[in-house]
A and B are shown apart, each in its own frame.
Chain A
Amino acid sequence: GENVEQHPSTLSVQEGDSAVIKCTYSDSASNYFPWYKQELGKRPQLIIDIRSNVGEKKDQRIAVTLNKTAKHFSLHITETQPEDSAVYFCAASNYQLIWGAGTKLIIKP
């Protein structure tokens, strides 16, 4: 079955700097890769997703890249702001979502 690994588990960056979170997956049949942001006590919120026929996708300060050959995908947040502080999860799917363990992103003022 699918296995998703996510690194780092905690990431602390200065406000205004960029943050990068990386994930690897094992099942080459996975074709959909969403990223969710979860604030404490709240539901996961989709922030960006990418499908296997695309290598990169960008939405304002957030971008995701996918390398199908290496089976890894990354989330990039530029110009980080205090409200970006949260736990970020990657996931891989061909129908059920298999989640990474999460990255706690801390933005230092």
Chain B
Amino acid sequence: GAGVSQTPSNKVTEKGKYVELRCDPISGHTALYWYRQSLGQGPEFLIYFQGTGAADDSGLPNDRFFAVRPEGSVSTLKIQRTERGDSAVYLCASSLAGAGDTQYFGPGTRLTVL
């Protein structure tokens, strides 16, 4: 079956603009995770959904970042008033159940804030 997909693959925006990044998890996976990866570093946890609810959003850096998963499948990461420091690759992963399950990653969205 299809793996995790993310759109767009690349997004270039100007400082102060709003962006939305989309993640389509593997069908049937109840858990969904967002990570952010800067060049030369490991992924940094942002938020974890179990079904429709955010089970842990402790990794969101500030209130400009918000994510939703209204039907328990597709998720959207929303960033308001983008800053140059938000530039990174945003990775989405899904797992079948949740805690301790293997996480499968999408290809990522490379966000560049000019």
Contact = CB atoms under 8 A, between A and B. Distances in A.
Contacts of A36: 105
Nearest to A33: B100
Interface of B: 33, 35, 40-45, 48, 55-56, 59, 91, 98-100, 102-108
A31 B105 CA distance: 20
Given A42-B107, A45-B105, A99 B42 contact: yes
B102 A49 contact: yes
A5 B42 CA distance: 11
Main secondary structure of the interface of B (DSSP, over half): loop
A95 B105 CA distance: 15
Contacts of B100: 31-32, 51, 93-95
Main secondary structure of the interface of A (DSSP, over half): strand
B104 A46 contact: yes
Contacts of A42: 107
Interface of A: 31-32, 34, 36, 42-46, 49, 51, 89, 91, 93-102
Given A34-B102, A43-B91, A102-B42, A96 B33 contact: yes
Contacts of A44: 43, 91, 105
A19 B106 CA distance: 27
